[in-house]
Amino acid sequence: MLKKIILGAVVLTVATNVLDAQRRRGRREFDLKNMYSVDSTVRDGIKLVFVSNDSTFDSKEKERMIETFYKVYPEQCKIYNPKSREKVTIFIDTAYEGVAATGGGLMRVNPKWMKKNPEDIDVVTHETMHVVQEYPRYEPIWVTEGIADYVRATLGVNNVAAKWTLPEYKSSQSYTNSYRITARFFIWLENKVKKGIVKNLDNAMRTNTYTDGFWKNETGKTVDELWAQYGQNPSL
């Protein structure tokens, strides 16, 4: 009995520490006094908060990111999830080491990446799709990231100038490679197999009803069979 109580106390302490860590992180993300600039805009009922802790972040790049957001986010909501959030925060974060990441309505972007790749403005398009997705589970990752890049390919505003293209099919690829490789496969599916399949896939993910059986229900074929067919004639 005592053992159980001690164990219970340990579990509780660990759980509390995890929660505290999350709260601390949450606080730091929104600790506005460490921010160089905070700016919010509202257009057609959608609020964008733009926060930066980088004093050297280019104001023109910021404007382009805001314009891109207001161009693509309402379109994404309309097509994929009309109930998507009405408030999104873009946080230019010098502490973030990747390119960008989004959780809930908060998008963190690495300013170093944007400085080196100023035309890569559709990072916003990919990340806002993660806001729209709001899936209860991120898995399978290749579906989630494949859809985000499919949306960048179809709704992006500056992919050509950014030299962002979908790689040609190669037999060494797999649909599980994720990102652009999967995005190209999704475009092929839309064009050659079933119009609207990506929208249905996105919906299955959001409603947590996606299973391996999705593909057979939609097309009569498994995803491996579809991928094999794609490999035989991958033209779009």
- Interactions with Zn ion, residue window 171-190 (CB under 5 A): none
Question: Does residue 223 touch Zn ion according to CB under 5 A?
Answer: no
Picking from 178, 193, 194, the residue whose alpha carbon sits closest to that of residue 146 is: 178
What sign does the dihedral 56-57-61-66 (CA atoms) show?
negative
- Measured from the CB atom, is 36 or 138 closer to Zn ion? 138
Question: Does residue 148 touch Zn ion according to CB under 5 A?
Answer: yes
Question: Does residue 129 touch Zn ion according to CB under 5 A?
Answer: no
Size of the site for Zn ion (CB under 5 A): 2
Question: Does residue 107 touch Zn ion according to CB under 5 A?
Answer: no
| Stretch touching Zn ion by CB under 5 A, among 5-13, 41-49, 110-118, 145-153 | 145-153
Cβ 76 to Zn ion shortest distance, Å: 13
- Measured from the CB atom, is 129 or 189 closer to Zn ion? 129
Cβ 126 to Zn ion shortest distance, Å: 6
DSSP string computed for 111-156: HHHHHH-TT-TTHHHHHHHHHHH--S---SHHHHHHHHHHHHHHH-
Under the phi-then-psi rule, with left for phi > 0, alpha for psi from -120 to 50, and beta for the rest, what region is 110? beta
Torsion of CA 11, 16, 17, 19, to 10 degrees: 130
Q: DSSP state, 33?
A: G
- Measured from the CB atom, is 145 or 218 closer to Zn ion? 145
| Stretch touching Zn ion by CB under 5 A, among 74-82, 142-150, 184-192, 196-204 | 142-150
With a CB cutoff of 8 Å and minimum separation 6, the contacts of 14 are none
Interface with Zn ion (CB under 5 A): 145, 148
